Structure 1
């Protein structure tokens, strides 16, 4: 497979990107409401120029993702549940982070949603609990190469601990 670990790239943040990351840190330090996951997703989508963004939790059997947030061009879409098998999200669970800069459909020909959405590039990262077990993931997708994947990875990494906390807290709520 041809995926890249973006965090191995040598990347120096621009001044405006430093300000955006400071805003991301500020977002995580504010009191959180139920809307935090939506706010974090919108922040990443806006500042990363992301076409599609998913933040989702794993199903009890670990074979599906249930979206907490699903955005298209910054607009919320209805929550969906989708199987992990044959998707780049399944690779995220084993690799913890992966990036397909282009032709992601070629690597996952059985993922019909990638074809339907005409997805060209994919960046995904896992969320884990205190024991290191996966609780969810984030997937960023576009019908063209991501504008600045290294910066987008920085955004995801800065917001990941707070997103993880929210997913863990949601998982621990009584049914």
Structure 2
């Protein structure tokens, strides 16, 4: 399979990217409510300049993703549930992070949603509990190559701890 681990790239942030990451840190330090995941997804979509962003939790059996927020062009779509098998999201769970710069549909011909959405490029990262167990994932997708995947990865990594906390809280409201 052709995917790249972006975090192995030697990438130096530009000054404007540093400011965006500082804004991301500020977003995570604000009081949170049920809109936080949507705000985080919108922030990612805007600054990573991607067409689709989804943040999802894993089903109890770990075979499906249940979206908590799903955006297309920064507009909220209805939440969905989809199987991990035969999807790039399954690779995220095994690799923890992956990036398919182009032709992602060719690599996952059984993933009908990729075809229906006309996805060309995919970047995904896993969310983990403090014990290191997968709790969910984020997927950035576009009908063209993601322009700055290395920065998109930095952005996701900065937001990940807060998103992980929120996913854990939503799956265990008693906490």
Q: TM-score, normalised by structure 1?
A: 0.98
SS in 1 for 2:119: coil
Note the C-alpha offset of 1:77.
Answer: 0.2
**Equivalence for 1:113:** 113
**Equivalence for 1:150:** 150
Gaps of 5+ in 2: none
**Equivalence for 1:102:** 102
**Equivalence for 2:159:** 159
The answer to whether structure 1 residue 41 and structure 2 residue 41 are counterparts is yes
**Equivalence for 1:129:** 129
Note the C-alpha offset of 1:130.
Answer: 1.3
The answer to whether structure 1 residue 77 and structure 2 residue 68 are counterparts is no
SS in 1 for 2:33: coil
Q: TM-score, normalised by structure 2?
A: 0.98
In 2: Cα distance, 1:11 partner to 1:93 partner:
24
**Equivalence for 1:27:** 27
Give the number of equivalent residue pairs. Answer: 174
**Equivalence for 1:50:** 50
Structure 1 stretches of at least 4 aligned residues deviating more than 6 Å after TM superposition: none
In 2: Cα distance, 1:36 partner to 1:147 partner:
25
In 2: Cα distance, 1:112 partner to 1:160 partner:
28
Note the C-alpha offset of 1:9.
Answer: 0.5
**Equivalence for 2:63:** 63
In 2: Cα distance, 1:151 partner to 1:130 partner:
25
Note the C-alpha offset of 1:171.
Answer: 1.0
Gaps of 5+ in 1: none
In 2: Cα distance, 1:127 partner to 1:20 partner:
21
Deviations 1:44-71 (A, max 9, x none): 0001111011000001111000000000
